[in-house]
Structure 1
Amino acid sequence: MQAGPDAPLGPVNAALVPRYAGAATYARLPRLDEVGHADIALLGIPFDTGVSYRPGARFGPAAIREASRLLRPYHPALDTSPFAAVQVADAGDLAVNPFDIAEALATIETQVGELIADGTVPVCMGGDHTIALPLLRAMHRAHGPMAVLHFDAHLDTWDSYFGADYTHGTPFRRASEEGLLDLDALSHVGTRGPLYAAEDLSEDARLGFGIVTSSDVGRRGVDAVAASLTERIGDRPLYLSIDIDVLDPAHAPGTGTPEAGGLTSRELLELLRALDGVNLVGADVVEVAPAYDHADITAVAASHVLYDLVTLIARRLGRAR
């Protein structure tokens, strides 16, 4: 759909082509090669070689795209039509080596760096959480040290696993060690469950992270938590990384390392909407593993989370113009 010659090319018109028909791009948006340049690009990274428990997140991007067919072009909660405000496109999937983690990380870093060189804002679909490290490396080159909001059941700041330094449990430790992060503006949100030792928390704090547990969200409420997060972030360039297991398994069963006691999908969406106005320059949603999903519950949740991320970025770009 296109309102005029200078307007963004938007999704396929559902009144002309049923939602279950046609190409399965995210939200039935145009492909990046159909528009040439996009203000926001949805990029799939089907890589899950870094997982420590259930594999299968390599199939996450395809499942999210399929679940996104039902999304509509107007976001009433944020009073925005994101696909009409800016050009949004589906950039397809990166082809990364499934057998060599180091090569895969290098490929992701290089190709995402090329994607954002002209100012395109990346919103990535994983894949496992290992991909956050090369994404942050590419974002750091473009924006300098990044503020990070990390929505996850887990800290992902462990040192190694079976002697491996690059896994889905280590990306934020490596990112902190590499100087990619603004240590005054880092927060985990939604963490819960047992740890290996109390030292996990002290090590995490040493790396610069603050913690808002899922219980904190329940006790303090969405508005209070969002206010504290936005105050911590300020106007710094923000990268938002969302492991879908931040949701309770009732809301996201299709993931690799589920933990009881998580956020509801409503709480997560309301937290994101309350961040309206922050300088969001990139994001990812990871760890959707459709083989463990039921009735596409997890993929539907992820598709809506991505829609809110795109809307927040579209509003920021609109204000800047």
Structure 2
Amino acid sequence: MERIDQPARSRARPHTFMRLPLDRDPTARDLVVLGVPYDESGRCPGTRLGPGAVRDASAFAHVPGADRGPGTFDLVDCVDGGDLDLTPWISGAASDVLYKRLSHLLAGNAAVLLLGGSRSLTLAALRAVAEIHGPVALLRLAADPAGSHLHGDVLYQAVDEHLVDPSAMVRIGLRGAGDSGRAQGGVMLDVGRFGRLGVRGAAGFVRHRIGRRPVYVSVAVDVADPAFAPGTGIRVPGGLTSREVLGLLRCVGDLCPVGFEVMGVSPPQDRSGITAALASEIGGELIHQYARAQRILM
């Protein structure tokens, strides 16, 4: 697959993830990257700027998998589909736009990677994915249970609408979830339990729990400690290191992933840009693991 030929530090357009080809109406692709620039509220705005910041940071990122064999982009057909045109703070309208766009993309392409953007849009993504694959397994890395009022009861609704199989739902990195997190079903590996298991133990648990079910992988950057990802709406100390996040995601290649998202990047909260840099590495790692899962890479 031919990537855009420009210097790694170039800010010239087209502005794409890891300098992938830009294709706003892709068909028959292995994976399509899609930006979802959206803020869910005015309390701590900024996630609408996330996709652009992640794409900028990705110009400096290494080609995923380059240290582990053949380059991913030489073996998987991946393009950047640009950004959705979303109106900030009108969640119903934004969800409808995303659902329709993803339904169209997944009808003609194998998988998507969302860059965002508010996590309130996860429900719309799950609706589109489940329309193709039925109730899916869910691997979610996030600091909060996402069933609180902060993110619109996303998981409650997903389970209630039979978009997600609660017996194959694993959430990792939670801090202070309490009873509300446990009530959503599935299995929680909060930071304490994750610390006891370690990356290898947690990865083995994920493989055993999810198996070969179709799985949607959702990563919120706040799963990482604020030292590694300060640019997010709510900073919760005590999270995973960036190395732990990336190491854990290597188990995704042993699963059957059908969609991905990297959400919650808020550039105004992080002038250093390290949050967007981490998000771009996560996105690249997920693409590499998708290729592994398709047995393109072994």
TM-score grouping bracket, smaller chain normalisation? over 0.9
Q: Structure 1 stretch 94-103 or stretch 143-152: which is displaced more?
A: 94-103
Superposed displacement of residue 22, structure 1:
2.7
> Which residue number corresponds to residue 170 of structure 1?
153
> Which residue number corresponds to residue 29 of structure 2?
38
Superposed displacement of residue 314, structure 1:
1.7
Does the CA-based 8 Å contact 2:19-2:59 persist in structure 1?
yes
> Given residue 64 of structure 1, which amino acid in structure 2 is its aligned partner?
V
Summarize deviations over 1:244-294 as a string: whole Å, max 9, x none.
Answer: 000000000000011000000000000001332210110101000000113
> Which residue number corresponds to residue 96 of structure 1?
86
Query: Structure 1: how far apart are the matches of 2:294 and 2:136?
Result: 18
Query: Structure 2: how far apart are the matches of 1:131 and 1:288?
Result: 13
> Which residue number corresponds to residue 97 of structure 2?
107
The reply to whether residue 282 of structure 1 matches residue 268 of structure 2 is no
**What does 1:179-218 correspond to in 2, within 5 Å?**
179-193=162-176, 198-204=178-184, 208-218=185-195
| 1:319–1:85 distance in 2 versus 1, CA, 3 Å | closer
**In percent, how many aligned pairs have the same letter?**
33
| 1:151–1:318 distance in 2 versus 1, CA, 3 Å | same
Superposed displacement of residue 308, structure 1:
0.4
The reply to whether residue 313 of structure 1 matches residue 270 of structure 2 is no
Unpaired segments of 5 or more residues in structure 2?
none
Superposed displacement of residue 50, structure 1:
4.9
Does the CA-based 8 Å contact 2:39-2:89 persist in structure 1?
no
Query: Structure 1: how far apart are the matches of 2:214 and 2:232?
Result: 29
The reply to whether residue 118 of structure 1 matches residue 113 of structure 2 is no
> Which residue number corresponds to residue 239 of structure 1?
216
Does the CA-based 8 Å contact 1:78-1:273 persist in structure 2?
no
Superposed displacement of residue 99, structure 1:
4.3
The DSSP-based 3-state class of the residue aligned with 2:169 is: strand
Query: Structure 1: how far apart are the matches of 2:122 and 2:151?
Result: 9
Query: Structure 2: how far apart are the matches of 1:184 and 1:214?
Result: 21
| 1:36–1:118 distance in 2 versus 1, CA, 3 Å | closer
Summarize deviations over 1:133-167 as a string: whole Å, max 9, x none.
Answer: 00000000010001001100000113xx4xxxxx6
| 1:168–1:36 distance in 2 versus 1, CA, 3 Å | same
Q: Structure 1 stretch 308-317 or stretch 257-266: which is displaced more?
A: 308-317
Per the normalisation by structure 1, the TM-score is: 0.87
The reply to whether residue 262 of structure 1 matches residue 239 of structure 2 is yes
User: Which of 4, 24, 28 matches 1:12?
Assistant: 4
Superposed displacement of residue 20, structure 1:
2.3
Q: Structure 1 stretch 126-135 or stretch 35-44: which is displaced more?
A: 35-44
The DSSP-based 3-state class of the residue aligned with 1:249 is: coil
| 1:245–1:20 distance in 2 versus 1, CA, 3 Å | same
Query: Structure 2: how far apart are the matches of 1:317 and 1:21?
Result: 33
Query: Structure 1: how far apart are the matches of 2:86 and 2:25?
Result: 23
Query: Structure 2: how far apart are the matches of 1:176 and 1:32?
Result: 33
Does the CA-based 8 Å contact 2:64-2:284 persist in structure 1?
no
Q: Structure 1 stretch 301-310 or stretch 112-121: which is displaced more?
A: 112-121
> Which residue number corresponds to residue 198 of structure 2?
221
The DSSP-based 3-state class of the residue aligned with 1:298 is: helix
Query: Structure 2: how far apart are the matches of 1:117 and 1:36?
Result: 9
> Which residue number corresponds to residue 49 of structure 2?
59
Does the CA-based 8 Å contact 2:32-2:111 persist in structure 1?
yes
Q: Structure 1 stretch 71-80 or stretch 307-316: which is displaced more?
A: 71-80
Superposed displacement of residue 33, structure 1:
4.2
Does the CA-based 8 Å contact 2:31-2:113 persist in structure 1?
yes
Query: Structure 2: how far apart are the matches of 1:314 and 1:63?
Result: 25
> Which residue number corresponds to residue 164 of structure 1?
none
Query: Structure 1: how far apart are the matches of 2:143 and 2:17?
Result: 26
| 1:77–1:271 distance in 2 versus 1, CA, 3 Å | farther
* Cα RMSD (Å): 2.0
